[in-house]
A = this chain, B = another copy of it.
Amino acid sequence: MHKLNTVAIVGSGLVGSGWALVFARAGATVRIFDGDAALRARAPARIRQMLLDMQGAGLVQDVEEPLSRITVCDTLAEAVGPADYIQESVLERVEVKQAVCAEIDAAMRPEAICGSSSSGIPASAFTEALRNRSRFLIAHPVNPPHLVPLVELVPAPWTDPAILPALRAAMEEWGQAPIVVKAEIEGFILNRLQGALLNEAWALYEAGLASAADIDLTVSQGLGLRWAFMGPFETIDLNAPGGIADYSARLAPLYHNIAVSRANPRPWSDAAIRGAEKERREVLPTDQLQERTDWRNRRLMALVAHLRSQPK
């Protein structure tokens, strides 16, 4: 059992609120701070609504019990001081991360761990000067963290290596699915995989080979079905009689040709972006984006409930 019983949330926007729910649901004591007093005051009501939505989808039993473990603090030091683990979820700008992490550094216990929700900026860009810099790393969630379990743990060069197995175990106990990215790389793992697929999708779209809607169907009615419960390596491991080596012997040349055909990458073009934006707005007008996002969250909750019910 890990000893990370008290958790501080610094930054209580959508991501920070989702994190607060994750920790409280798992039984931790949660202390929330946000520099915006109105935002932090709204956090419990927002988390209550998330819990009610999850209760409706059969994902949590009780709403009030996890909420009772959440306290909103008036200062950062008050939130961070007693914490065993700190989840920083402030704005994704390096100077903001630097300033907030300096405050965390000053207030934290030296044995605490601080994970940053940064989706792109590596920890080395904003923790180098900290007294406790060996206790900082990236803990990048997918949005929203209370529905999508993946968390990327990415150390800076000076992160204490012992933190990785400890935080990995704690994240698993909290109900998340942590992975370890062994060194800093731009985009970490998740956004690199997403980006590779998106880059190909944009290139196909720009070449006029398929509509955005048809490219979406290729994933949602094809590739995505297996990827909802198996990763890409397990998928190909089960797609040839002799497993992944057999699959690779058959198909690696095709996939290499595909890579070579994209060896001169161009940025996503303005014309393609305008075209896809136009196609999307015909399907989904701007004033329905929020409604569709709510639909996505309901679909995610139902999918998570389904996936939990299945044999591993």
Q: Interface with B: A28-36, A58-66, A108-116, A227-235, which one?
A: A227-235
- Complex: how many Å from CA A110 to CA B265? 44
Give Cα distance in the complex from A311 to B224, angstroms: 18
User: Which residue from chain B places its CB closest to the CB of A197 in the assembled complex?
Assistant: B197
Contact A220 B216 (CB under 8 A): no
User: Does A214 sit within 8 A of B, measured CB to CB?
Assistant: yes
Q: Is the CB of A179 within 8 A of B233?
A: no
Q: Is the CB of B228 within 8 A of A224?
A: yes
Identical chains in the assembly:
2
For A239, the closest partner residue in chain B by CB is B143
Q: Chain A interface residue count: which class?
A: 35 or more
Q: Which residue of B lies closest to A305 (CB)?
A: B306
B186 close to A257 (CB less than 8 A): yes
A187, A226, A286: residue with the most chain B Cβ atoms closer than 10 Å: A226
**Contact A233 B208, CB 8 Å, known A199-B196, A244-B280:** no
- How far apart are the CA atoms of A281 and B217 in the complex, in Å? 33
Interface centre among A191, A274, A286 (most CB of B within 10 A): A191
A199-251 with Cβ < 8 A to chain B: 199-201, 204-205, 207-234, 236-239, 241-245, 248
Contact check, B243 vs A286: say whether CB atoms are below 8 A apart: yes
Which residues of chain B have C-beta atoms less than 8 A from A284's C-beta?
A: 237, 243
Chain B's nearest CB lies how many Å from the CB of A177? 4
Tell me, rounded to whole Å, the shortest Cβ–Cβ distance linking A68 to chain B.
28
Contacting residues, chain B, for A241 (C-beta < 8 A): 289
Whether A232 contacts B201 by the Cβ 8 Å rule is yes
Chain B residues lying within 8 Å of A194, measured Cβ to Cβ, are 223, 232
- A181-B214, A186-B257, A226-B300 known; 20 new pairs, CB 8 Å cut-off, are A148-B221, A182-B210, A190-B218, A191-B258, A193-B204, A193-B219, A193-B223, A195-B254, A199-B256, A213-B233, A216-B232, A220-B227, A220-B229, A237-B284, A248-B273, A253-B267, A256-B268, A259-B262, A263-B264, A299-B311
Chain A contact residues, CB within 8 Å of chain B: 120, 142-143, 147-150, 152, 177, 179-183, 185-187, 189-201, 204-205, 207-234, 236-239, 241-245, 248, 252-268, 273-274, 276-277, 280-281, 284, 286, 289, 292-293, 295-296, 298-300, 302-304, 306-307, 310-311
